[in-house]
């Protein structure tokens, strides 16, 4: 088994923070938000897993900073034994040595969460823990269902009572209900998968088994790791590195893996559709030292920068990246163009991702704390500024202005993704089209609005080069071609997680 080792450069990018600004009108310009990260562990030597799950979640903190939780149980104990700790805030704010010490169990799941509009409440914190006739079911979910409302309505009409407003509870309820009619929990997961539609990477712990499942399109990542006599499921490989585990393999789209003391059992009966992994995992979401479906995220961002230099060349004196995900793309642009790469921004690494702050006031208070410009680097120079995306345009406009106020004579903006034109329904909070600047304005008009001397986006036809192969990917937020039919109404703010 091969363990992916992070390079020094990639490890330096531990906090994938982004730079956001506030319009004078008060409307925030948010970067797209990833909804969560999942982590599960089963130790066959019966050692407690809570502390390892904690460190795993700490490594996945970039995927959600709103809330987090851990649930564990003992596989040799009663079928209804579990210990749970959840709270609003960061991993190191919710957990401490005392509450982790009290969590006794050799199997467990963890979750970090970021919600879309609304529902930033304690009852929606994952993992969900259900006590039912077969024992305890612990569920953590990354993704978004497109048929959650219909399923929820049907379940409620048949007597189901829901405690949350998240679609993850629909999944948990379906698994529990199906388990009453089949012989194993993994078969119940498979039956539930036949009913749900959309994006989901699941980590499920039953009284005696740890199960991982990925939707048939593989929208969201999920991988398997091993440390000594313990198996791990994680959204990203960076968390495996953190806890000293070896990478075993990725969970394949549509696959259900069941982990017991006998090893890993694979069920691929649901793997019947074309793979459509979220391309924005490579552009922005994932930590740069992670590998997703065998592809190094850092290398993907370098490739994006090289493509930008090929398709949108410009005469300039320096190339700079907007921290953090813009940095690697800027390196790629510099390598391809021969223009020197430089560091123009000083970022406060102790400020979390602004867009994950649940309230507008929190965003406003942290905007200017996060970023400053090194005047000596940009003064009197023609600057290429590389960032990963433009949503509404106010952030890019603010950063361009900061560079020019610091003395840059020209600022040429290059974006390592195509223009956002359509909303996402699969676990990313790309807003409605009428809120996306690229939907209403041409590239030239956007450049004028943000104050850039020129603007270039990554060509949508070259997105596949970021994945270094023939793997299928979802680019619906850029193309409008949805792999799964979206809901007739936008319910992302009503039933999200």
Please name each of the domains of the chain with its CATH number.
31-291 (3.60.20.10), 297-468 (3.40.50.2020)
**Catalytic residue of the set 16, 36, 238, 474:** 36
d(CA 43, CA 30): 40
Closest C-alpha among 74, 47, 72 to residue 57? 72
Q: Per residue in 57-73, pLDDT tens?
A: 999 999 998 999 999 99
Euclidean distance between CA atoms 410 and 314, whole angstroms: 11
Name the DSSP class of 419: P
- The model carries a pTM of 0.88
How would residue 442 be classed by pLDDT, with cut points 50, 70 and 90?
very high
In three-state secondary structure terms, 101 is helix
| Model confidence band, residue 360 (pLDDT cutoffs 50, 70, 90) | very low
pLDDT at 252: 97
CA distance linking residue 381 with residue 378, whole number of Å:
5
Cα-to-chain-centroid distance, residue 338: 33
Model confidence pLDDT, tens digit, residues 290-329: 999 999 999 999 999 999 999 999 999 999 999 988 999 9
**Alpha helix segments (H runs only) across 3-116:** 8-11, 50-59, 91-94, 97-101
Q: Which residue has the higher pLDDT, 224 or 272?
A: 224
pLDDT average, residue stretch 25-45: 72
Q: Which residue has the tokens 């019947």?
A: 272
* Residue 136 CA to its chain's centroid (Å): 27
| Average pLDDT of the segment spanning 335-360 | 74
pLDDT band at 121 (very low <50, low <70, confident <90, very high): confident
pLDDT tier for residue 410 given thresholds of 50, 70 and 90: very high
What are the CA-CA distances from residue 457 to residues 156, 193, 432 (Å)? 46, 37, 20
Q: Residue 12: pLDDT above 60? A: no
Question: 10-19, 29-38, 93-102, 435-444: lowest mean pLDDT where?
Answer: 10-19
pLDDT value of position 277: 95
pLDDT of 259 reads 98
pLDDT at res. 15 = 29
Phi-psi region of 3 (alpha: psi -120 to 50; beta: other; left: phi over 0): beta
Q: Is the predicted pLDDT of residue 400 greater than 60, yes or no?
A: yes
Which tokens belong to 245? 């585990």
Mean pLDDT of the chain, nearest integer? 87
pLDDT cut 70: percent of the chain above it? 85
Residues 375-386 as b/e (b if ≥16 CB within 10 A, e otherwise) read: eebbeebbbbbb
From 321, 277, 390, select the one nearest 31 (Cα to Cα).
390
Question: In this predicted structure, which of 117-131, 141-155, 317-331, 389-403 has the lowest mean pLDDT?
Answer: 117-131
Q: Select the more confidently predicted residue: 92 or 19.
A: 92
Tens digits of per-residue pLDDT, 241-258?
A: 999 999 999 999 999 999
What is the predicted pLDDT for the residue at 476?
Answer: 96
Closest CA to 262 of 283, 231, 227, 232: 231
477 is catalytic: no
Residue ranges with strand state E in 188-228: 198-205, 210-214, 223-227
Residue 439: exposure state from Cβ atoms within 10 A (0-12, 13-18, ≥19): middle
């Amino acid at each position: 088994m091969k363990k992916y080792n992070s390079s020094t450069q990639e490890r330096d990018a531990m906090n994938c923070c982004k730079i956001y600004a506030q319009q004078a009108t008060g409307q925030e310009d948010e970067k797209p938000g990833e909804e969560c990260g999942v982590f599960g562990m089963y130790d066959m030597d019966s050692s407690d897993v809570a502390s390892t799950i904690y460190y795993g979640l700490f490594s996945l903190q970039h995927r959600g900073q709103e809330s987090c939780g851990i649930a564990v149980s003992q596989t040799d104990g009663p079928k209804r034994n579990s210990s749970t700790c959840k709270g609003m805030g960061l991993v190191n704010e919710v957990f401490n040595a005392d509450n982790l010490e009290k969590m006794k169990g050799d199997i467990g799941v963890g979750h970090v969460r970021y919600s879309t509009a609304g529902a930033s409440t304690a009852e929606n914190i994952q993992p969900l823990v259900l006590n039912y006739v077969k024992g305890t079911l612990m569920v953590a979910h990354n993704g978004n269902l497109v048929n959650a409302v219909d399923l929820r309505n049907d379940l409620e009409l048949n007597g189901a009572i829901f405690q949350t407003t998240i679609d993850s509870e629909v999944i948990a309820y379906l698994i529990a209900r199906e388990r009453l009619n089949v012989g194993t929990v993994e078969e119940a997961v498979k039956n539930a998968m036949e009913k749900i539609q959309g994006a989901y990477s699941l980590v499920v712990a039953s009284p005696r088994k740890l199960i991982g499942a990925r939707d048939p399109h593989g929208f969201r990542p999920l991988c398997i790791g091993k440390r000594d006599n313990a198996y791990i499921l994680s959204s990203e490989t960076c968390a495996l590195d953190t806890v000293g585990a070896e990478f075993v393999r990725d969970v394949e789209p549509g696959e259900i893996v069941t982990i017991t003391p006998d090893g890993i059992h694979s069920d691929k009966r649901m793997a019947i559709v074309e793979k459509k992994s979220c391309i924005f995992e490579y552009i922005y979401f994932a930590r740069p030292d992670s590998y997703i479906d065998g592809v190094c995220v850092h290398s993907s961002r370098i490739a994006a920068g090289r493509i930008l230099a090929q398709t949108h060349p410009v005469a300039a004196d320096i190339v700079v990246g907007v921290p953090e995900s813009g940095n690697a793309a800027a390196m790629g642009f510099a390598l391809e163009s021969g223009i020197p790469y430089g560091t123009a921004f000083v970022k406060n690494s102790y400020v979390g991702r602004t867009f994950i702050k649940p309230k507008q006031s929190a965003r406003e208070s942290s905007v200017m704390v996060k970023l400053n410009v090194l005047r000596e680097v940009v003064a009197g120079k023609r600057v290429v500024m590389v960032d990963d995306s433009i949503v509404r345009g106010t952030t890019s406009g603010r950063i361009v202005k900061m560079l020019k106020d610091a003395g840059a004579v020209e600022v040429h903006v290059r974006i390592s993704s195509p223009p956002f034109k359509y909303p996402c329904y699969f676990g990313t909070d790309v807003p409605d089209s009428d809120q996306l600047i690229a939907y209403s304005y041409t590239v030239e008009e956007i450049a004028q609005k943000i104050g850039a001397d020129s603007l270039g986006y990554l060509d949508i036809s070259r997105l596949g080069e970021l994945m270094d192969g023939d793997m299928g990917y979802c680019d619906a937020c850029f193309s409008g071609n949805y792999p799964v039919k979206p809901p007739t109404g936008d319910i992302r703010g009503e039933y999200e997680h």
